[in-house]
Amino acid sequence: MNLEECVSGMEVIVLAVPSQAVRETAKKMSAYIAPDTIIINAAKGLEMNTHKRLSQVIQEEIPLARVAVLSGPSHAEEVGRGIPTTVVCSSEDKTVAELVQDVFMSPFFRVYTNQDLTGVETGGALKNIIAIAAGISDGLGYGDNTKAALMTRGATEMARLGQAMGASILTFAGLTGIGDLIVTCTSMHSRNRRAGILLGQGKPLEEVLQAVGMVVEGVDTCKAAYELAQQLGVEMPITEQLYQILFKGKDPALAVNELMLRDKTHESEDAVNQINMKWL
């Protein structure tokens, strides 16, 4: 079955290709998509060079489509086995999100809706960066304390950049923020964490990617997020150090040491604590 046969006449299409293939795939699909077709993107990342969210990429290539995003802590290995999983559907059009919710809801697959499309997509993309960092920590032989710090401070970075992009900070406390971060940083199902473990053990990036054998989304996302943070003037120390490891050959142990020796600061000034204050 070719692409035209797959998408022609469909009311709802799930697009589940690697993030850097979204534009090319959407462009190829565009000639066969009817107006108001709902396209649900399942990839998590930022487009290289443009730094755009993937829903923006799809909308540019297929302007008449209605775009939604499905994101959250959902390893396919577990979803396929019917293990209870909860995710979020987001769209700028509430009726589209609710329709997708109805399509996917089942006794083992629960779907929430959230209209903060920027926050949902940004959280899903950026957590892969922190997962590589968490894997590096494991590969270096560090313990739970280090990983907890990386995850917590990583959540702060995610929220910081998300806010600068126009997202609601509360979204990062939900399934597509903290939820996805937890599962990706702690599970061996996570390609990003597995890649990080190998990096922490001293393997070069090219060898790591070959060993994982599948797309490690956090690598390209790290580069895009680093560049975007520089552009927006957002401080992202974990992302910056990972960028140095991935693309400049920096020693992972040195990167961790520099994170620990950064200038003193006060935790309550950070974005995660703004979330906590809104909850109180």
Catalytic amino acids?
A: 127
Contacts of 89 (CB under 8 A, 6+ apart): 40, 68, 69, 70, 97, 100, 101, 104, 111, 112, 113, 114
Token look-up 């150090």 returns 241
Burial (Cβ within 10 Å: 0-12, 13-18, ≥19) of residue 63: exposed
Instruction: Determine which helix (DSSP H) or strand (DSSP E) holds 229, and give its type and residue range.
Output: helix 217-232
Contacts of 65 (CB under 8 A, 6+ apart): 33, 35, 36, 37, 38, 39, 58, 59
Ramachandran category for residue 184: left, alpha or beta (phi over 0 → left; psi -120 to 50 → alpha): alpha
| Long-range pairs, 206-215, Cβ under 8 A, ≥24 | 215/18, 215/191
Neighbours of 191 (CB within 10 A): 22
